[in-house]
Amino acid sequence: MCTAVSYKTKCHYFGRNLDLERGYNESVVITPRNYELKYRYEKSQKLHYALIGMATIVNDYPLYFEATNEKGLSMAGLNFPNNAHYYEYQNNMENVAPFELIPYVLAQCASVQDVKELLQSINIVHCNFSDGLPVSPLHWIIADGDSSITLECIKEGMRVYDNPFGVLTNNPTFDYHMMHMNNYMHLHEGFSKNQLQASLPLFNYSLGMGAMGLPGDFSSSSRFVKAVFVKEKSYCKGDEKESVNQFFHILQAVAMPKGCVLAHNGDYEYTRYSSCCNTDTQVYYFTTYENMCVRSVDMHSIGLNDSKLSSYPID
- What amino acid positions are annotated as catalytic residues? 2
Q: 262-281: which residues touch a copy of itself (CB under 8 A)? A: 262-264, 268-269
> Do residues 284 and 150 lie in contact, with contact meaning Cβ atoms separated by under 8 Å?
no
Task: Report which residue type is found at 272.
Answer: R
* Interface pick for a copy of itself out of 64, 140, 284, 289 (rule CB under 8 A): 289
What lies within 8 Å, CB to CB, of 191 at 6+ separation is 204, 207, 209, 210
The verdict on 190 binding a copy of itself (CB under 8 A) reads yes
* Interface pick for a copy of itself out of 28, 75, 124, 250 (rule CB under 8 A): 250
Determine the interface stretch with a copy of itself among 3-11, 138-146, 195-203, 300-308 (rule: CB under 8 A): 195-203
The verdict on 187 binding a copy of itself (CB under 8 A) reads yes
Residue ranges of alpha helices (H) inside 17-165 are 101-106, 112-119
> Do residues 95 and 125 lie in contact, with contact meaning Cβ atoms separated by under 8 Å?
yes
Residue 272 CB, shortest distance to a copy of itself, in Å, is 12
Residue 85 CB, shortest distance to a copy of itself, in Å, is 15
The verdict on 170 binding a copy of itself (CB under 8 A) reads yes
Query: Is 79 strand, coil or helix?
Result: strand
Cβ closer to a copy of itself: 131 or 290? 290
The verdict on 110 binding a copy of itself (CB under 8 A) reads no
The verdict on 287 binding a copy of itself (CB under 8 A) reads yes
Residue 14 CB, shortest distance to a copy of itself, in Å, is 18
> Per-residue DSSP letters for 18-47?
EEESS----EEEEE-TTS-B--SSSPPBSS
Report how far apart, in Å, the C-alpha atoms of 302 and of each of 17, 73, 196, 280, 282 are.
26, 19, 61, 17, 12
The verdict on 238 binding a copy of itself (CB under 8 A) reads no
Report how far apart, in Å, the C-alpha atoms of 3 and of each of 151, 224, 273 are.
15, 7, 11
The verdict on 240 binding a copy of itself (CB under 8 A) reads no
Cβ closer to a copy of itself: 78 or 122? 78
Q: Give ∠ CA 19-291-269 in degrees, rounded to 5.
A: 20
d(CA 18, CA 28): 13
The verdict on 64 binding a copy of itself (CB under 8 A) reads no
Report how far apart, in Å, the C-alpha atoms of 87 and of each of 82, 171, 186 are.
14, 20, 40
The verdict on 299 binding a copy of itself (CB under 8 A) reads no
Residue 220 CB, shortest distance to a copy of itself, in Å, is 4
The verdict on 185 binding a copy of itself (CB under 8 A) reads yes
Least Cα distance to 160 among 173, 149, 146 occurs for: 149
Cβ closer to a copy of itself: 34 or 221? 221
What string marks each residue from 197 to 236 as x (binds a copy of itself by CB under 8 A) or -? x-xxxxxxxxxxxxxxxxxxxxxxxx--xx-xxx-xxxxx
Residue 248 CB, shortest distance to a copy of itself, in Å, is 7
Determine the interface stretch with a copy of itself among 32-40, 88-96, 129-137, 171-179 (rule: CB under 8 A): 171-179
The verdict on 315 binding a copy of itself (CB under 8 A) reads no
Least Cα distance to 90 among 131, 126, 62, 55 occurs for: 126
